[in-house]
Amino acid sequence: MNDDFLQTLLLTGKLATITTVILLIKGLPLGYWLAYKRFRFKPLIEALISMPLVLPPTVLGFYMLVAYSPQNTIGHFLEHTLNLRLAFSFEGILVASVLFSLPFMVQPLQNGFASIPQSYREASYTLGKSFFTTFTRVLIPNIKPSIITAVAMTFAHCIGEFGVVIMVGGNMPGETRVASIAIYDEVQSLNYDTANKYSFVLFIVSMVILTIIYSINGNKKTL
């Protein structure tokens, strides 16, 4: 294996790992909020979160690339105030990856929270436990299978991202060239052996992740 091959795989793993950690931290309170709160615009919020499931990745990538442009308000603020240019950078594809993978984290967590009987929360509050204690000691332990599923699905989705990444980050070795883009690039160059190596690694990782998910769900149903 050459250095470029390993570098690309490490970058892919780095992107997927950081994206998953960020979304887990954000997804737990968001999933709780969506599971238990009732308000007028909740369907709209849920629709916006679920948009990446039906929206072509290139559409989201295009709008994010436009937003990153220094000619627009967001891009101008980032570049001139924070000295940060997101277009064609790792930070840029990370932000895009977080937005595009959001439903893969939030939906399993929301369903997990919604499946917990209301009596669990009521009993905890009756015993004088705080919201934080109830959330961390009562609710989260009861949705461990949902958490594992959410983490696995998010990570698997991240390692296979193509449209959003290539629109926002291009194909810059060591910076934005992840495995899915490398496969396309190698096929275009007729380097099928290298493309096969990348594909095989992603295939094995995806298979392991799906096996874990189905094993957890299968064990949960037998309990």
Is residue 15 a part of any domain in this protein? yes
- In contact, 202 and 179? CB cutoff 8 Å: yes
- Per-residue model confidence (pLDDT) at position 113: 96
- Per-residue model confidence (pLDDT) at position 3: 80
In sequence order, which residues have a C-beta less than 8 Å from that of residue 74 and are 6 or more positions away? Answer: 67, 68
In sequence order, which residues have a C-beta less than 8 Å from that of residue 217 and are 6 or more positions away? Answer: 145, 149
Is residue 155 a part of any domain in this protein? yes
Write down the pTM of the prediction. Answer: 0.90
Conformation bin of residue 149: beta by default, left when phi > 0, alpha when psi is -120 to 50? alpha
Is residue 222 a part of any domain in this protein? no
Point out the least confidently predicted range of 13-17, 28-32, 157-161: 157-161
- In contact, 32 and 143? CB cutoff 8 Å: no
Is residue 101 a part of any domain in this protein? yes
Q: With CA atoms as reference, report the closest residue to 152 among 10, 23, 8, 9.
A: 23
Is residue 145 a part of any domain in this protein? yes
Q: Which domain holds residue 160?
A: 3-217
Is residue 114 a part of any domain in this protein? yes
Total number of domains in the chain: 1
Is residue 106 a part of any domain in this protein? yes
Q: CB-based burial of residue 47 (10 Å sphere; 0-12 exposed, 13-18 middle, 19+ buried)?
A: exposed
Give the CATH number, domain containing residue 138: 1.10.3720.10
Is residue 223 a part of any domain in this protein? no
User: Using CA atoms in the order 10, 16, 17, 23, what is the torsion angle rounded to 10 degrees?
Assistant: 160
- Per-residue model confidence (pLDDT) at position 221: 55
Q: What is the pLDDT of residues 28-68, one digit of tens each?
A: 999 999 999 988 899 999 999 999 999 989 899 999 989 88
